[in-house]
Each structure stands twice: as structure tokens, then as C-alpha cells.
Amino acid sequence: MATSNNTSIMYPVMPTDIGQVLPFGRLLQRRGSGRLWIGQSLRLDTHQIFAALAGMGVRVPMGSGVTLAPLRHPYDAAVQARSVAALSGTPYVAGIGPATPEFQRSLLDSAYGKPLTAMREYVTVMRGLIQGDVVRYEGEYHSLEAQLFSLEAPPVEIGLGVLRPRMARMAGAVADVAVTWMTPAGYIGDTLLPALADGAADTGRKTPRVATVVHVAVARPGRDIRLTALSGAGAHLRAEHYTDMLRRGGVEAYPDNPEAGADALVETGVFVTGTPDEIAAELDRYRRHGVDEVVLNPAGVLNTEGLGATMTDLQDILAAVDRRRG
């Protein structure tokens, strides 16, 4: 089931029951393509959700977008990622992010003074373990001498959450996938992709493919799109690192005014809306700017109207995407 240059789905909230996620997986399974992404869940653990789905017969490619490094040692992260690949029987993308400094301080002795260094070390250790190496590593943040027990499993790709050029360059040097979230298409093509390519050139690696999570909602009678955008993106619109990225991409968003930020997302097309066919056409703009995998994020509709309306939107958008792609 190829996912490169494809359209995937994000389950965008922390679930409390596997039944909330199951329809997303079943939809992709019926469609026959696309990856199911879930972010860091602190209710039901992300990896255990994937394992439960696999046990229920949902065998679709899966990916974390993203889990947070302070929660687990890279050895455990490697075990978890490989377990999902083995249980699902499909390739897995282990997307990792550093979390906010506040979250880091809540779990660690202190926040990462050098978050790029911390993530580079984390990914380096994790990759070596997944490759089956005996990893002997002594870093500023992560150190170990260990090897995973052998286990046959489909491939695991390592992803890094990427918003700004410095992280993009580092991801280019060490990651397989750059996972971007709410990033304007032009900003990806003009700013992030060149940084990814530079980082890859530094280490002689292939430039990571790009998976971009895109907020979507079909314009329907009675649906308040601006309220939907605020409900889906409001938490990120209150975060300085997200709004800084958006301003770099030409979207006027500030953490002290998420309402105006939501309006700006809609007006600039970063929150993609319209008819299903119009949405499908707009998603192609991301592909033209170098995105390999567009990940539909229906958070706004899920938060305001529930699962039924969300599934209708996803089915209609994917059908339009598939018609467009022949």
C-alpha cells in the first residue's frame, strides 16, 4: 500500500476509546491507500491504539505525528515503533518531536538547552537500534550501549516534526520523513524544502520526504467555517512557535489573538475549505510545492460536530481526491 504522493488521514484528538479511531482506519482500509496518523495521545497511548487496531484486523500503514521525545528513552521508542510495524504488517513512520520547553521541564531535570542537538542524538540512537546495530553512543542528552533483540518486521521510517528552517536542516541530515503541521504550501516549497535538502547534502543522505498535516472542512449549509477553524487550530494558534512559523509563511497569526489567527488561516487557504472537489484541487497545491503525503486533519469538524459529520467530510474529500487522480 504505497503512501508516497498520497492522501492520508490524521485522527486529531486524544481518544478515550478505540471505537473513536476505528472508523478512520476502516475508511483507509476500504480505500486501499493512505496512512493513518495519530499524534501524541496521553489518554490511550498512541502505539497501543495502533496495536489495538492491528488486532482488530485494520492493517493499514500507520504513523505518529508526532510523539514526544521526553516521554520515552530512544531505546523504548525503537521498540514501540518496530512493534507497531510488526503487529500491523505494514511500514511505520515513527514521528518524533521535542515538545515545548514547559513540557520538557515537567518530565526532565530541565528543558533541552539545545533542542536540535537533543533530537539529533535521539534520532541517531533510534535509527541505529532499528537497523540492528550495537549502538555505543555518548551524547549530551542521550547515551547508551545496547542492541535490540532481533525481530522480523516491516521497515520503520523515522520522522521529525518540522516547522522552521533550523529543524528542517537537521531533519534533512538524520530523518526519513519531515512531518509538518499547518504549514503554508509556499512556505514549505520556498523555505523548508531547501533547508531539508541542505541538511541531506551535509550528510550525503537522500532528502526526506515531506508529510504535511492540513486542516480541512467541507463548506456546508449552516457550518461556520471560521468557528470550525478556531476549534480545530486554536491550541496551536496560541503557541509562539506555530504562530512564528505562520508569520514566516505570510499568515498574520499571534498567540494573543487566536480568533484573528483562525480567520487568517481561512483567508490564506491554510485551512482548506470549499466543496470536496475544490478541496481536492487545493491539496494539489501542496504537492506542487514538494509535499509527498498530504494528511487530512478534520479536527475542526470533529470538535464542533462529532464523528458522523467528520466521517462524511473525509469520505467526500477522499472520493474527490481519487476522482481527480483518476
Query: From first to last of its 326 residues, what are the pLDDT tens digits of the chain?
Result: 334 449 999 999 999 999 999 999 999 999 999 999 999 999 999 999 999 999 999 999 999 999 999 999 999 999 999 999 999 999 999 999 999 999 999 999 999 999 999 999 999 999 999 999 999 999 999 999 999 999 999 999 999 999 999 999 999 999 999 999 999 999 999 999 999 999 999 999 999 999 999 999 999 999 999 999 999 999 999 999 999 999 999 999 999 999 999 999 999 999 999 999 999 999 999 999 999 999 999 999 999 999 999 999 999 999 999 999 87
**Cα–Cα dist 17/217, whole Å:** 24
pLDDT at residue 4 in the model: 40
Enumerate residues 6+ apart whose C-beta is below 8 A from 288. 185, 189
Instruction: At 92, list the grid cell.
Output: 511505520
The three cell numbers of residue 25 are 482506519
Distance CA 104, CA 126 (A): 19
pLDDT tens profile 232-254: 999 999 999 999 999 999 999 99
Set of cell numbers at residue 33:
491507500
Residues 6+ apart with CB under 8 A from 179: 63, 65, 66, 93, 95, 159, 160, 161, 162, 211, 212, 213
- Residue 145 confidence (pLDDT): 98
State the pLDDT at residue 325.
Answer: 85
